[in-house]
Amino acid sequence: MKWKITGLTAALGLLLAGGAHAAADPAAVRVEALCNGMLEAVKQAKGPGAQARTRNLQPVVEQGFNLEAMAQFAIGEPWKAMSAAEHAQVAAALTRYTAARYAHEFDGFHGQRCAVDPAVTTRGPDKLVKSQVTEGGDSTSVNYRLREYGGAWKVIDVYYKGVSQLATERADFAGVVRSGGASGLVAKLNELTAKMR
């Protein structure tokens, strides 16, 4: 199956570059570093099943993204009422789900290339990194929002065709959190993750 440029996998495709040169800005450097990690994860995954790809991709996802911050932003106000243990459980479930979605939506590297724009935009505490992914004759723009945590820049949002991943997740999570709280969201994410294995 050919790799598909979708809202999520387009973002991943940008990470499967293999040819971009590091820019001076640390946020752009982070995006390029993810390129190498994702590419290696895909190369090392053996067999047609998604489980091996998920296992290889998860540590790369954990390193490049701040999933706890993304969970907080996506959940919004109800996050404040959750305990530290619930925060950790939701972030862990979102991490597994994110890796599984990447693994599910593509079955290998098919010559995708990406270019990271060195002209990084700073907006308050965040930096926006623009990228282009190409596969064959197709080209797709995907932008990343990064924030510095403990001296390391981490991805906290992805914009595909102008649509924020966080905004999409906020809409998806709202009803689940409202009816089932943190445990309900963890259960739902685990259910969706299991279906993609």
CATH dotted code for 9-195? 3.10.450.710
Mean per-residue pLDDT, 3-22: 48
pTM: 0.82
Residue 17 confidence class, pLDDT cut points 50, 70, 90: very low
Interval 85-102: pLDDT, tens: 999 999 999 999 988 887
| Residue-level pLDDT at 105 | 66
Q: What is the pLDDT of residue 21?
A: 47
Residue 188 structure tokens: 């739902």
What per-residue confidence (pLDDT) applies to 3? 43
Query: Tens digits of per-residue pLDDT, 155-180?
Result: 999 888 889 989 999 999 999 999 99
